[in-house]
Structure 1
Amino acid sequence: MRCFSAVSNPIHLLGLLLIGLVAIAGWRIKSLTLSGAAAACFTGILIYMGYGFKGLFLLGAFFASSSLLSKYKRNRKKVLDEMLEKGDRRDSVQVLANGGISSVAGLLFWLTGSDIWTAVFCTSIAAANSDTWASEIGTLSKRSPRMLLTMKKAARGTSGAVSLQGTAAAAAGAAFIACLSVPLFRLDPLWGILIGLIGFGGNLADTILGGSLQVKYKCPVCGSITEKKTHCGVKGSVVQGYSFFNNDLVNALSIGIAAALSAALFILF
């Protein structure tokens, strides 16, 4: 375990200041709620403890790209507000669902120095980025998506539905993080390929879980299928999944699956 002290190493003050400023900026531009900004500080500190500015750079690449894409053609995405449980401002639960595993990997690397946690760290961010890019770009597809498990047409933004545009964006999102990870952490190029593939696989797991176990409600007033428990001022009835199995849990589990797979491959090879 390495020493972490802002007093003994003043450069840590710069790192902590950077984390705080980014979190505040995310709150000011309405990419994060206040609780989301606090959670971002927490995850950022753990990642910085393990990986320093390299870790913050990779985390920042995910956060910046996802924030920009969430604002891109926002007017065309407003129709999704009636379908999705939460808006484009990430709260603490969303931040931890997407960044919790990578922050734990940072802490464990700080404690042990084992490179297995670097594989987990990079892969978990690749999976989160893949899912975010797929969601933000896929919803802009001109063609209606299809449910992955049944191939039936679905409304844009439906959890479990895929489109060619969204799938390409998912692959690009995972590859983006993989390409940054190789030079940042001096990884073997083969691991760069694996990070991209496993990250994309995390998005695939997200799609399967979202289309099978994630809860969906039917509004008794307008008949809409939505992730919102309450719609049109009344409580909806569950038509799919389990009430506790929301999008945040789907995100956390899918990233966890990708992280576990990367750890298993690291041990094998």
Structure 2
Amino acid sequence: MFDILALLLLFLASLLGWRWRTLSLSGAVAAFIVGSIIYIGFSVKGLILLAVFFVSSSFFSKYKKEEKVSLNEIVAKGDRRDWLQVLANAGVPSLTSLLFVLTKDPVYILAFGTSIAAANSDTWASEIGVLSKSKPFMLLTLKRVEKGTSGAVSLLGTFAALGGAAIIAVSAWLLLPISFHEMIFILLFGFLGNIIDTILGNSFQNKYECTSCSKITERKVHCGNTGKKISRYSFLNNDFVNLLSIILATIGILAIS
């Protein structure tokens, strides 16, 4: 079930994440917990797949960071993941690991791979897409908006989302007992998770218009003032949008399996 070496390696990885400022202290604790659960379900191979997501997404969050400074006024959180962000991205993989331990049903191997693919797809889309030379557009209205706006898409971000899902799908195929066509399903449903995230971000994620500078932002307080909510139907923050999109993508692959 568990051994001391795995425990030490997880602790070291979480500590390094905190020291390298990719995780907050609460994020490091959460990462240790979810990593432990995933190890119980899928052993070292499960941790390697999780590491592919964490290392690649952390790299792209730091990549060309100076060009992303302006995004700090739009997004609600920075590039250091707190416990909510860790659970939003790794909570479903942890749950599928527990279900696999309890049932030994191989369908949860597919669910595990898909949930990580969906998380990686969305993260790559967000971190790489903002480097696009042109402004993105809202998927449902096609209106051009500022880079970093939730629910916006660009050609670069779309290809990044596909690449993020693909690297997890291929890694799962190499590490876990799944077939080639199951790998394709993980890729497709992982990418679908990003599309769902985009639609939810467009429709239901909280966005505010600053009463001073009129900038649209996820931050409720901007320029020292409380912003005006731009949609009465929005009620989710980014963490819950991420979590819900991963849940729906995972349910999707469970439904066809």
CA contact (8 A) 1:212 1:241 kept: no
1:156-213 deviations in Å (ceiling 9; x for gaps): 0111110000000000000000001112112110000000000000000000000111
Alignment of 1:200-215 (within 5 A): 200-215=191-206
Counterpart residue type for residue 264 of structure 1: A
1: CA distance, partners of 2:20 / 2:234: 32
2:117 to 121, 126, 132: 126
Q: Is residue 161 of structure 1 aligned with residue 184 of structure 2?
A: no
CA contact (8 A) 1:43 1:99 kept: yes
1: CA distance, partners of 2:208 / 2:179: 46
Q: For residue 137 of structure 1, give the secondary structure of its aligned residue in structure 2.
A: helix
Gaps of 5+ in 1: 7-11
| Residue in structure 2 matched with residue 9 of structure 1 by the alignment | none
Q: Quote the RMSD (CA, aligned, Å).
A: 1.0
Q: Is residue 219 of structure 1 aligned with residue 216 of structure 2?
A: no
Deviation at 1:240, TM superposition (A): 2.5
| Residue in structure 1 matched with residue 99 of structure 2 by the alignment | 108
| Residue in structure 2 matched with residue 175 of structure 1 by the alignment | 166
1:56-115 deviations in Å (ceiling 9; x for gaps): 000000000000000100000010000000001100000000100000111111122111
Counterpart residue type for residue 16 of structure 2: A
Q: Is residue 55 of structure 1 aligned with residue 37 of structure 2?
A: no
CA contact (8 A) 2:61 2:79 kept: yes
Counterpart residue type for residue 68 of structure 1: F
CA contact (8 A) 2:204 2:235 kept: no
Counterpart residue type for residue 227 of structure 1: E
CA contact (8 A) 2:41 2:97 kept: yes
CA contact (8 A) 1:101 1:256 kept: yes
2: CA distance, partners of 1:204 / 1:265: 18
1:124-155 deviations in Å (ceiling 9; x for gaps): 00000000000010000001111100111110
Deviation at 1:222, TM superposition (A): 1.2
Q: Is residue 233 of structure 1 aligned with residue 240 of structure 2?
A: no
CA contact (8 A) 1:214 1:241 kept: no
Deviation at 1:215, TM superposition (A): 0.7
1: CA distance, partners of 2:116 / 2:138: 25
Q: For residue 186 of structure 1, give the secondary structure of its aligned residue in structure 2.
A: coil
1: CA distance, partners of 2:50 / 2:9: 12
Alignment of 1:240-259 (within 5 A): 240=231, 242=233, 244-259=235-250
2: CA distance, partners of 1:211 / 1:14: 44
CA contact (8 A) 2:203 2:233 kept: no
1: CA distance, partners of 2:56 / 2:161: 13
Gaps of 5+ in 2: none
Deviation at 1:234, TM superposition (A): 1.5
1: CA distance, partners of 2:256 / 2:87: 25
CA contact (8 A) 2:121 2:194 kept: yes
